[in-house]
Every structure is written in structure tokens, then in C-alpha cells.
Structure 1
Amino acid sequence: MTEETQSGELPDTGPSTCPGTAPWSVATTSSSGRSRRNSTRSVSRGRLGAGLVEVPRVPYRDPKTAVLTDPEVPEAKRFCSRCAKGVGRVRDGRPGRVEGYCPQCGHRYSFTPKLAPGEVLHDQYEVLGCLAHGGLGWIYLALDHAVSDRWVVLKGLLDSGDADALAASLAERRFLAEVEHPNIVKIHNFIRHADRQTGNLVDYIVMEYVGGQSIKDMITARRRDGNGDEALPLAQAIAYVLEILPALGYLHGVGLLYCDFKPDNVIQTEEQLKLIDLGAVRRIDDHHSPIYGTVGYQAPEIGTIGPSVFSDIYTVGRALAVMCFPFDFRGKCKDRLPTPEEEPLLARFGSFHRLLLRATDPNPELRFSSAEEMAEQLTGVLREVLAIEDGEQRPGPSTRFTPERRRFGVDNTRMDLAAVAAALPAPRVDTSDAAASWLATATTSDPAGLRKAPEYTVEVRLRIVRVLIESGDVAAALSELDGITAPSMFDESEIDPEDWRPDWYRGLAALVAREPDKARGHFEAVCDRVPGEAAPKLAIAVCAEAVGDADAADFYELVWRTDHSYVSAAFGLARVAMARGDRQHAVQVLLDVPDTSSQHVAAQVAAVRAMIDDPTEDDLVAAGQRLDSLDLDVPRMAQLTGELLAAAFDWVTRNSACPSRVLDCALSEHELRLGLERCYRTQARFAATPEERIALVDRANAVRPRTLV
């Protein structure tokens, strides 16, 4: 593995000991992002972050202001490109040399710019000065006189005597000619120019100028202006990664690996992000070229099995963590993430923590399988993050689960876990499965009928598992699952070993078997695999409620706050809130069920019942107003009226009468007795049995006020 130095890192880190090139068109403006039109902060909810996040604009930077007045590599950033040891350092009070030989390995080094202002390359590109320096070369600003004097960037070799650096430069040149993506820097030309001192020919890449600010410099600016441990807002960092993941997916799709993703290599201009520095790019099937990357970001398996799509995913996960909170990502946390105890952000946003853990799993095959899959789950996590931060729902469709098939827990009675298993969302059928179209139209719920499918595929067998679970035949369902997941005679199971759906169905089976603790373990495993999905969190909430765990409310609230279409989560949250004595929260949650929901009236009724549980005078009045506004049939209205007036009567017997009114009855014993009598007689007219009718008439007679006659 070849090593190189970086041009700079986050303030709390040391120099990199793995390859990576510094940003070449980085502005030094503050992260507040001031508009060119005025001096006020400008934000926009544009394309970044799926249109969910307001991201500060970074104004386009005038190229002339980006030119370095005194281009020099700081001594702390001078490293030998062969052995990575420090070179050109101060010695005996004398400044370090910018050119010389490494005292460790004897390799020649040079940190002087090779091009001077005014120098013209290829009879076309006039050099204006240096913009930045990096491990693979100096970066210059130039004017392209052949194309309307447009601004361009020239990138050459820092150390043209290093064979690996030269190979990397040539590799970059070869790959860049194939790359065309709006979020990846554009390449205009490749030229050679004779060094004015040695006469040697040096290769230069001509790129577009991207004026803006790198994510690394945004973080650096925040720390410089703050306490030194600031990071980007979580939602903003996620928005940036969501914008860049399609670019990485594009590279993977054309057979290329990026290898060196980090905050240094992403620049924002206005609302657009660009991935720069393709110096470490290599073909997926290249097993011989030098491997470039950066310590702290690079996947642990690089030295043994080499780069892969999985290792690129790892760098994205590590970079996202670095953007969001400060930690020693090159020291004690070089190969792991901080724990929630070490980093409060991870404790507050559990789904984000799960996503980072999967992206940076030590086992490459347990990471996200593609940039697209990571982006899909990260979008779901972003919706949760925003909902937690401001309490506003951000619903979004799931490509992994159906909506809730039925609502559960609506009648406020003890939950039937078997009914819950049949009501929870179902995993969607893989459309690439040979039997997908047949399953879309199949109406049979008989396992024998399903076994007659034209193609007996994994999706058909999973449907059989679901049918068996819902019929209560847990043993048969688990046996079928074992058949799908067990290795065959060729040592391969029918289903991908990392597929999360077997865990989902085992969780459902455990629910039907009334084993909520066991079920939760399976649903937690699903949540670890698809951290942006609501369905497994809803299932975990059910399991937690069933055993009385305090975190049931947290999971119900997370699901409900993110997406109000999960109405079962609202009823679950209300139940848990009532159980812990937080009646006000329970009522508010139920009142928030939208009127577009089929369970809106049921939620309003549940809210009325919650209001009259150990009520105050104000609660009784509010419950009466709420009930009066509901459009209910006569029997149901009479039943709820009876419950409300009975609660009011009980309150009056413990307190003094008052002029407030509940459903046209004053809060006095006499009027409430009359109201209850009328209510019970109304209920008696709609009684289902003679016995029930007689009981209600007896109650009416018992509650009516006494008379003198």
C-alpha cells in the first residue's frame, strides 16, 4: 500500500499517513454562507437532502481571490512520498529545506511550485498562481485562452520522481476521461509541459474550477470560531452525503472505486456539491495498482483483500461520523465508532447510530451493499432526525415494507399479539423474483395453493411462511424458514445470508407464540439492517409494551412523530403515556390523528375517554365539547355520554357544584342525575338483549334524583 501526505485535516487530528489529495478549489469564507446579493444569511430548502433540509448557501468564490500569495507547503505537512516520514523540517534553528533528500530512505523530495504566474502551457493555458497543494501535486489556477478565457485548474505532480505518484496521476488521467456526472468535477484536457528548471516533461490535468468551500473547511471554520469541538448540524451533514452517494453509485456502476472519500474531497458552491480529487480512483478489477486512502477513513480490510464497493461505503460512514461530532478518528477510534455513552448525539439519534454501525461494520459483507441502498436508508434516518428536532412529521414511502395492513390497539383493550403480527406492515416482494407477478395477483391464503405457484421461488416460500404464521402454525412456519435459510448441498442457502426478512418472520412467529422478548431480538436485528424503516421500530415498540419496558414510548413516538400514517403507533403511545400517568400527552397524541385517517373518530373517542380519567373541571368541560363535535350514531353517542356524565357525577360527589356545564348539564348532582337517567334509558332502547335492556333501565331508575312524591 502506497502512502502519501495530506494538505491538511481537521484541527484535532494529525497528518494523514495514507494517500489522499487536498482540495484544490477551496474557499476560506465562513460557514454561514453569505449571499452575493446581500450580507444576510441565505438558506434554501432545495435539492440537497431530498428537499427536506435547509442548507446554508456557499457563495461562488472569485478565482482571483483564491490564489495563494506565498505558495509554500508548511513544514508540518512535509512528508516523504516513499516512507511517509517527516522531511524538510527545522533543524538547529534553521528553516527546513523545500527540496532535498529524505534522511530516512534517501528519496528525493521537492515542495516548490513547478509553474510560475504568467507561464503558458500548451499555447493555451496561462498560469495565474497556486490554489493549493496536495499529496499528488500542486494545483494552479489558469485562464483557458482558447475557450473564452474560462477559469480552469491545472493539477500536476508534487514529486515527479516517485513512481507510485506518477502511476496514480496516470491512473487519474485514464479514469477521468470516462467520468461524466453532475456531482463529479469535470475534466477538460490532459497536457504535458516541460519543467522550466529540469526540462523534464510533466503531466497536467486540466479541470473545471469549482469555487466554493470544502466540507472539511466548513468544520474547521466552525471550530475556529467556537469552542474547538463543533461539527456540522446532523441534518446538514446527512444532506451532503445524500447528494454525493449517487456520484459514488455512478462510479461503481461504471466499474470504478473512489477509495478516498472524506470531507476534504467534497466542495459546496451555492446549492451544488462536487466530488473532487479522483487521484485514488481505480477499476474494481484492478488488483495491482498502488492503493490510496486516508487513515481514519480507510476500511480495515484494505491491506488484506483490497478495495471494493464495501470499502467505499465504509469511507462514507466514517466521513459522515467525522462531519457530525468530534472524536479521535485516527487514534483510539480508528477502527470503531464512539459509543452512545461517549457521544450523546448517537444516544439521541439511535437510527443514525445504527446506520453508521452498518456502514462501518468490520465485516465488509455486513455493510450496505451499494451506495443506493445506503442512500435509501439514510433518507429514512434523515426524516426521523428532522422529526425529532422540530416535531414535524416527514412521511415518505418505503420500498421495503407495505403500509400497516390493519390498525391494532385502537379499542384500547389489551393487545392480542397474534393479531398484531397479522396487522404489522409486510416486507415487499422482490420485483426481480420470477414469481413476483404471480404473487401480486394471487388471492389464496392456503399454503397448499401457494405451493402450486408456476415458479417455487424464495418469494413464494416467504409468502407461505407469512400465511402459516397468521394461521397460528408457528412450528410449520419456522420449519419452512429453516428450509429457506439452511445451506444446501452446494453450501449455499436459497436466500442471501444477510437478508433481513427471515429475522422479520421469526419475530412475527415469536409474537404469535406470545414470546415478545424473543420477538424483540429478531426485530432489533432487522432494525440494524434497515435503520431508516419505521416498521421494525413499530414492532419493537409492541414488544417493549408487552413486557412493560420503558422504551416502548420512545419507539412509538419515533414512528408516530416521523409519519402520521402509522396510526397504531399513536394509539400505542397514548396507552403507554396513560400507563405512566402522562394523560395530557396521551390526549394530545390522539387529537393529532389526522381527519383523513380512517381511525380519526376512534382517536377522538379515545381522547375523550382519556380526558375523563381522573379529570379536573376543565377536563370535563373540554371532553364534553369534544364529544359534542363528533358525528356518532345514537347508540355510540349514548354510551360515551354515559361515561362522561358518570365521570362528572363522580367528580361532583368529591367536589362542590359549579356553574360549568358538560353536555348541557350543570356540574351539579341534580342535573347530572337527570342527564345520566336520560342516557341510560336511551342506551336501553338499543340494547342487544333483554337482560342488557333491563339492567340499563334499573341503572336509570337508580340514578334518577329523588322526588317528594
Structure 2
Amino acid sequence: MSQCAQAGCPGSYDEDGYCDECGHKQAGAGVPAPVTEGSTPSAAGGASGRTSGRSTGRGRGAAPLVALPALPRRDPAGAVLPDPQVPEHRRFCGSCEQPVGRARDGRPALVEGFCPNCRTRYNFRPSLPPGAVVAGRYEVLGAIAYGGLGWIYLARDRNVGDEVSDRWVVLKGLIDSGDPDATAAAITERRFLVEVDHPSIVKIYDFVSHPDPSTGDRVGYIVMEYVGGLSLRDIYLARPVTGGTRQPLPLPQVIAYALEILPALGYLHERDLLYCDFKPDNALHTDQRVKLVDLGAVRRADDDVSAVWGTVGYQAPEVATAGPSVASDLYTVARSMAVLSFDFCGFTTTFVDHLPDPATVPLLAREESYHRLLLRATDRDPARRFGSAAEMAEQLTGVLRQVLSAADGRPRPGVSTQFTGERRAFGTAAGLVTAGTALGAGDGAGTARPDGAEVAAGLPVPTVDPADPGAALLATMPTADPELLSAALYSVGGDAVEVTLAVVRARIAAGDLDGAAADLDGVSDPDWRVDWHRGMVALAAGRPGEARAAFDAVYGALPGELAPQLALAAAAEADGDTDTALRHYAAVWRTDRSFVSAAFGVARILAARDDLPGAVAVLDAVPDSSSHSVPAQVAAVRARLAAPADRLGEPDLIDVSGRVERLGLDVERRARLTVETLRAALAWVQAGNAGTASVLTRRLSERDLRLGLEQAFRVLAKVAPDRDTRIGLVDQANRVRPRTWL
């Protein structure tokens, strides 16, 4: 072996030509052999508790969003290793875990022998030669891989097949038949793995034994289906290297792989089984599927006796002391995603139990939701990770929607099981043409920030957890009276968190913010729903900094949801941080066009930054089917008209005229918007500009524009709600009319 050429990497090149630390390809190295494993045992057993929190629906998968590339089925014979060997740096005693089989003092390494430390026998040769027939049925072609639990062989099932096709199977035995832990693991596999039946998990057919040629001892072998394809590690290692750095897999593809794997892990977890040793080596991409292979480390969740197997860099830190759990399985998926999606140098050393800073990883800085998902799934506290594979898959699907929409600008909306939609759009003042108010109240580009109470009243709210004791009561009690809801809370008991939250929302709406905060303080087992409502209270109370912290916690817990990002954007805007606000408003609007508040938020910030064309483009994207389509077009008109006279051109005025004509407003609102448009056109002409077009049927001349304004004021006077308003509008009509002799 030789030292890795990557700067700062402590690893060495394997015999397959790739660094065992960072994966860097050695100059002149060929394509790696498939499905190379490298598991090492951990001490202790036991299972840690699961994450608390709400249950969620099952993950929806990546298929509707992104298709995995199709890989041709691999010729089984091509998978056989021509010279199967265990690299020296992976040879350890199965008893004391000290290095064995190493070259020293000029003497070659021994493939078999006795541990110099504890005298336990070791043998790293494949025990089944090509041509051997196991159990009178399985004809061995050769070894195809090796790992911590044993050699893997390709064989032909003589009892199944015909003259046209063969049935290929895989035999997995023990790397050292003298290892009692490995023997126990094989027996455990025989006990329950034949019952595992999932399309994304390799199928176990049988368990057979065969005498070891050197000792005569009966050695057990698992017989499983042959899955042609490449491991995710092989696919990663085949990526091109640029400037000494391997290019990662596209993020959508990495997420798609995880969304194929998580349901398989969830299937095991539902049967109280833990996979324990997931990593890119143990998932094969074949055709357009991904399958979990190598079930050697699978164990029952309540097994606190068997040895625990895992791989450094992927295994959760608590496994060595507390044992594996559902949370530690999900940890391995997140670590694998990280390895595949960016240059994760040092993931087995410097970053063995944490992620690098986004400042050093452009992908994590760019894809904030993805980074937050990885952070939650790899939290040092298992109780803060996702509670199930389905919950993680659901959030990962939401992240995928955001990633894809950011890549091409096409919305990828999805139905949330965690939040309602917007209760009402907020920050839409620029699109209001309100009858009966003083003229000019809605003028300008609408850059004023929405009031915190308005935002709190419009934000989505968490959906009711059907498992909550108060869920049925709330479904039959549609009231916003906090006192009635409080009485209902006492009737169902203090554990009805959903009723408490309904009381909190009712108090916020009634302005009783101190009472809402007190109710939240009384929740005995707070989760992200409490953080959400604390954010709403803080917004309504005018404390945007507190609101940001609360909504940021919700975003960290639910990185695939858009509602937390919308709330975080509003709180950041209220706090004066328009950069953060714009980033989150834009992410929400890009992904789902039903969040109209986000569109107005983006337009509002862009208009305040004098990017009026950008504001108009966002408002134009509000769908015609939306109830806010007309307000968006009104706001777009005002954004156009807000440009100073020296930047307002005749084409802009023509565009505004066409927009107003198409809006189909009633008489009064049409007259009000006509006044705003003709005033801007008059200012443009008075600034020395000249044009030949017409704006709302009025030519771009001072006289014609004044006549148009006079007419609009008189229309408004006719529909004025009272005498004083009518007189004022007539006075404005008289002031604006051009001078005449009559």
C-alpha cells in the first residue's frame, strides 16, 4: 500500500486503487471490484430509545419526482474476483481484534496462521474453490466480495433452471470459521432472515452447510438471490476526478437512493429488526431499483447479547455504549448520503461524528434544507433524530422537491401532513384597491412590512394529530372562543395537547398574548408544535428575534416543510434581515405557488431594493387560478409605476395600461387604479418625456392626461359613500383639469 496523494488525507490506497479514507483514485488505477465491504465489530449491545414526537405518514418515494438512471443487469460471471484476497490492512484477529496476517521484517504476509497476541487461528482464504458443490445443489463459480462477516460467492442452483437460463445465487459464509461471533451472527441470520420479504431487500432462500476443506468443520452459508448491478460505493468511485477531487453524485440522485432505502429499513424496523451496518457498499443499484444486501449485521431490536457490527464513519457514536436502535440506523443513511453527495474527506477521522461546516462545503451552504436534514438525522442525541424511517423519508421527499425546484425553477408542490395551507395571505397591501378609503392609501410599490399580528393570523398551523386525546373533540367543536376551548381542555384531561394549542391560537387571535404564553409553558412534553406557537406569540407581540429562534427550531426539526421557512422569512423580515427573508421567501415560492404570501414577500423586498422588474416578474407568476391573481396584478401595476420618471419608459406605461384593462375591476376600483396610472403618466410627461401611445385611452400629452384624471375623479365622486368625500373628490377633479376658457 502507498500513502494517499490527497493533501491532508491520512489514508492509504487499497489494492483496488482507491484511498481507504477519502476514496481518492490512485493514478493509473482501474475500476474497483464490486461490493467491497469493510465492517468492524463494536463492543456492547442494547438498544437506545426512539425519538419522541408525532407520527407521520409513510414516505412517498422519489419516483414521481426523479427517476434513477437505468443500469444494465450485470453478467454474473463478470462479478467473480480473479484473485480473491483480503487486503493486509483489513486483517484482524476475530478474538482480540489485533492486526494479523501482516508482512514484517521482509517476510511476506501469511494468509492463514495464528494470532501472535492470543494464538487464535485465522484464515483469510476463500474456503470454497470454483467448481465446489455445496449441499449437493449449489455449484460455486468463485468469490465476488469479502467483508467483516465473510466471503461471498457466486453459485449456480442446479435444482432450478433450464437449458435456456440459470438461476444464480449468492453464498455468504464466514471469513474465519474459528470466529465465534461470526458463527453466532450466521446462526441468527438463519433464524429469522428467511422470513424477510421486501422488494428492496435481497431475498434469503436457504441456509446450508459444507465441510471446510482444511479443517473438516461444517461451515454455514446463507443462500440469497443474486442481485446484478453496482454498489453505491462503486458508482461513487467511478465518478470523474477533477483537480484531484472526485465529483460527487448529483444530489437528486443521492436523495432518490435514500428514498429507496428508507422504506426497506422501515420494513425491518416494523418487525423489530435493526440493519445496523448500512453504508454505500451495502446497497446495489440494478436496473432502476436499489436493494439492500449483506444482512449479516441484522439483529433483533431487543438483542443485547450478540456482537454489534458497524463501520467507522457511518456508525452512530452511541452504538458502542448504548447499542443500536432505529435512530442509529437512520444515522447511517444520513452519513452515507453525505459521503455520496459532497467531498467528505476525513469522514472516518476528523468528522467521524459530525458534519463539516457549510462554509467549507458549497453544497451544504447552497442547499440549506438538505444540510438541516443531515444535521437532524446525525444529531449526537438519538432522541432528537427522526423517529422512524417513514418520518425521515417524508421530510427527505420535501427536501427533494426544494432541490429540484431550485435547480430548474419549476414548482414541485406537495401535500403536507404536518401543516395546513396558509389561512390567509399576508403582506398583500400592495395589491389592495379598497373602496371608500382615502385616495392614495394603496399607492406605491407596497414595500411596507406586514404587521406581526397579521402574519401570525395568516400563517399555516400544525395539523391535528389524530392520536391526540382531544382530536375528536376539536373536530366537533369549531369555536375560536378561548374560554370555551379551555373548558373543553379540562373535560378531556391535561394530556390533550391539541386542545391546548387550539386555546393558544384563540388567545393570540383575541390579543391575549400573555395568556397564550402561559398556556404554552404548561405543556408537559413540548415538541416542535410548541415552538411553532411560541413563534406566533412572539410575532404578534412584536418580538421578531424571539420568533426567529422559535421558527428556526421548527425548520431544523422539519426541513422538508415549507411552512417553517415561510414563518422564518416573515420573522426575519420583521427583524430587518431582508437577506434571510428573501432567501426563504424565494425557496417557498419556487417550490409551491400556493404560498402567495411568499410571492408578495419576494416582490416587497425586491421593490424596496429598487429591483422593480424583478418584483413584477414574481407577481406575474401568481397563477390565474389563484384568488390572489388580481391583487398580484394590481401590485405589479404599482411596482411598474413606482419607478422614477427618468426610468419609466413609454413601454412601461403601455404595459401598465394593458394590465389595468385586463383586470376587470368594478367601477370604483377601476377608477382608483386609473388615477394612480394617469398620475404617473402625467409626471412622466411633465419630466420632459414625449410619447405617441395611449394610456387607458388617453394620449401621452399633459392636456389629455389631465382630462382623464378629471374624469376618473368625477367617477369616484359619484360612488362616494358620503357628502364630504364627494366634495373632496370634485375639488380634486377641478384642480387637475386643464385650464380652459369655459
Instruction: Calculate the TM-score normalised by the size of structure 1.
Output: 0.90
Mapped contact 2:34–2:234 kept (Cα < 8 A): no
Partner of 1:79: 92
Shift of 1:428: 0.9
Counterpart selection for 1:281 from 295, 298, 306: 298
> Kindly tell me: are residues 209 and 7 of structure 1, through their superposed partners in 2, closer, same or farther at Cα, counting changes over 3 Å?
farther
Q: Which residue of the partner structure matches residue 271 of structure 1?
A: 288
Secondary structure at 2:140 match in 1: strand
How far is 1:301 from its partner?
Answer: 1.0
Pick from 625, 628, 631 the counterpart of residue 664 of structure 2. Answer: 631
Q: Secondary structure of 1:164's match?
A: helix
Report the CA distance between 1:205 and its aligned residue. Answer: 0.6
Match of 1:425 among 445, 460, 474: 460
For 1:544 and 1:590, the matched residues in 2 are separated by: 21
Q: 1:666 to 1:82 in 2, by over 3 A?
A: farther
CA gap of 1:371–1:480, structure 2 versus 1, over 3 A, is same
CA–CA distance in 2 between the matches of 1:9 and 1:604? 62
Name the counterpart of 1:504. 532
Q: Is the 8 A contact 1:10 1:219 kept in 2?
A: no
Shift of 1:210: 0.3
Task: Give the letter for the 1:206 counterpart.
Answer: V
In the alignment, does 2:71 pair up with 1:58? yes
Cα displacement string for residues 14-38 of structure 1 (whole angstroms, at most 9, x for unaligned residues): 399xxxxxx99649xxxxxxxxxxx
Q: Is the CA contact (8 Å cut-off) linking 2:376 and 2:556 kept in structure 1?
A: yes
Tell me which amino acid in the other structure corresponds to 1:654: A
| C-alpha deviation, 1:384, in angstroms | 0.9
Structure 1, unaligned runs of 5 or more: 1-5, 17-22, 28-46, 485-492
Whether the 8 Å contact between 1:89 and 1:97 is mirrored in structure 2 is yes
Going from structure 1 to structure 2, the CA distance change for 1:423 and 1:656 (only over 3 Å counts) comes to closer
> Residues 242 and 375 of structure 1 are in contact (CA less than 8 Å); yes or no, is this contact kept in structure 2?
yes
Answer yes or no: is the 8 Å Cα contact 1:114–1:196 preserved in 2: yes
Separation of aligned partners in 1, 2:685 and 2:514 = 56
Find 1:561's aligned residue among 568, 590, 595: 590
1:453-464 paired onto structure 2 within 5 Å: 453=488, 454-456=491-493, 457-464=496-503
SS at match of 1:177: helix
2:27 corresponds to: none
Distance 1:376 1:24 in 2: 34
How many aligned positions are there? 668
Match of 1:641 in 2: 674
State the partner residue of 1:146: 159
Shift of 1:302: 1.3
Classify 1:8/1:525 alpha carbon distance in 2 versus 1 (closer, same or farther; 3 Å).
Answer: farther
Q: Which amino acid aligns with 1:522?
A: A
User: Aligned-residue CA RMSD in angstroms?
Assistant: 2.2
- Deviation, 1:691, is 2.2
Contact 2:596 2:628 in 1 (8 A): yes
Structure 1 residues 225, 212: closer, same or farther in 2, change over 3 A? farther
Task: In structure 2, give the amino acid aligned to 1:436.
Answer: A
Give the letter for the 1:459 counterpart.
E
Q: Residues 50 and 379 of structure 1 are in contact (CA less than 8 Å); yes or no, is this contact kept in structure 2?
A: no
Task: Compare relative contact order (CA 8 Å, sep 6+) and give the higher one, 1 or 2.
Answer: 2
Q: 1:107 corresponds to which residue?
A: 120
Distance in 2 between the 1:10 and 1:240 partners? 25
Separation in 2 of the partners of 1:8 and 1:551?
Answer: 48
Distance (Å, rounded) in 1 between the aligned partners of 2:656 and 2:170: 70
Identify the match of residue 635 of structure 2 among 600, 603, 606: 606
Q: Secondary structure at the match of 2:215?
A: coil
- 1:344 maps to amino acid: P
Q: Distance in 2 between matches of 1:116 and 1:282?
A: 30
- Whether 1:164 and 2:199 are equivalent positions in the alignment is no
Counterpart amino acid of residue 448 in structure 1: E
Q: Which residue among 640, 647, 652 is the counterpart of 1:619?
A: 652
Corresponding position of 1:353: 371
- Distance in 1 between the 2:512 and 2:206 partners? 67
How has the CA–CA distance of structure 1 residues 211 and 663 changed in structure 2, closer, same or farther, with 3 Å as cutoff? same
Identity, in percent, stands at 56
CA distance in 1, matches of 2:479, 2:703: 60
Question: 1:12: Cα distance to partner?
Answer: 4.4
Deviation at 1:83, TM superposition (A): 4.0
- In the other structure, the counterpart of 2:246 is 229
Q: Alignment partner for residue 678 of structure 1, among 711, 722, 737?
A: 711
Letter aligned with residue 580 of structure 1: R
With over 3 angstroms needed to count, the CA separation of the structure-2 counterparts of 1:249 and 1:10, relative to structure 1, is farther
Describe how 1:180-579 pairs up with structure 2 within 5 A: 180-223=197-240, 227-327=244-344, 328-412=346-430, 414-453=449-488, 454-456=491-493, 457-484=496-523, 493=524, 495=525, 497=526, 499-549=527-577, 550-579=579-608
Write the distance in 2 (CA, Å) between the matches of 1:294 and 1:9.
19
Deviation at 1:215, TM superposition (A): 0.7
Alignment of 1:695 with 2:739, yes or no, is no
Alignment CA distance shift 1:24-1:127 (3 Å): farther
**Mapped partners of 1:449, 1:315: distance in 2:** 48
Structure 1, residues 346-371: CA drift from partner, whole Å, max 9, x if none? 11111111111111111111111111
CA contact (8 A) 1:26 1:214 kept: yes
Q: Which amino acid in structure 2 is aligned with residue 555 of structure 1?
A: H
TM-score (norm 2): 0.86
Alpha-carbon distance between aligned partners in 2 of 1:659 and 1:439, rounded to the nearest angstrom: 63
Residues 366-397 of structure 1 deviation map (CA, whole Å, 9 limit, x = unaligned): 11111111111111111111111111111001
- Tell me which amino acid in the other structure corresponds to 2:626: S
Structure 1 window deviating more from structure 2 (92-101 vs 314-323): it is 92-101
Distance 2:582 2:87 in 1: 54
SS in 1 for 2:692: strand
Q: Is the contact between residue 239 and residue 247 of structure 2 (CA under 8 Å) also seen in structure 1? A: yes
DSSP-derived class of the 1:183 partner: coil
Residue 655 to residue 94, structure 1, CA distance change in 2 (3 Å)? farther
For 1:49, the aligned partner's letter is: A
1:8–1:77 contact (8 Å) kept in structure 2: no
Question: Is 660-669 or 622-631 further displaced after alignment?
Answer: 660-669
Cα separation, partners in 2 of 1:206 and 1:268, compared to 1, 3 Å: same
**Secondary structure of 2:207's partner?**
strand
Q: Does the 8 Å CA contact 2:327/2:382 hold for their aligned counterparts?
A: yes
Matches of 2:612 and 2:18, distance apart in 1: 49
AA at the equivalent of 2:21: G
Q: Matched residue of 2:450: which SS?
A: coil
Structure 2: how far apart are the matches of 1:625 and 1:447? 48
Give 1:658 shift: 1.7
2:44 is matched with none
| CA-CA distance at 1:100 after TM superposition | 2.2
Cα distance in 1, alignment partners of residues 176 and 246 from structure 2: 35
2:157, 2:169 within 8 Å by CA — same for their partners in 1? yes
- Write the letter of the residue equivalent to 1:422: A
* Aligned residues of 2:449 and 2:574 also touching (Cα < 8 A): no
Q: Residues 643 and 445 from structure 1, CA distance in 2 versus in 1: closer, same or farther, beyond 3 angstroms? A: same
State the alpha-carbon separation in 2 of the partners of residues 697 and 120 from structure 1.
105
Q: Aligned partners of 1:708, 1:504: CA distance in 2, in Å?
A: 67
**Structure 2: tracts of 5 or more residues without a match:** 1-12, 24-31, 37-59, 431-447
Q: Is the 8 A contact 1:48 1:271 kept in 2?
A: no
1:15–1:295 Cα change, 3 Å: farther
Distance 1:123 1:24 in 2: 29
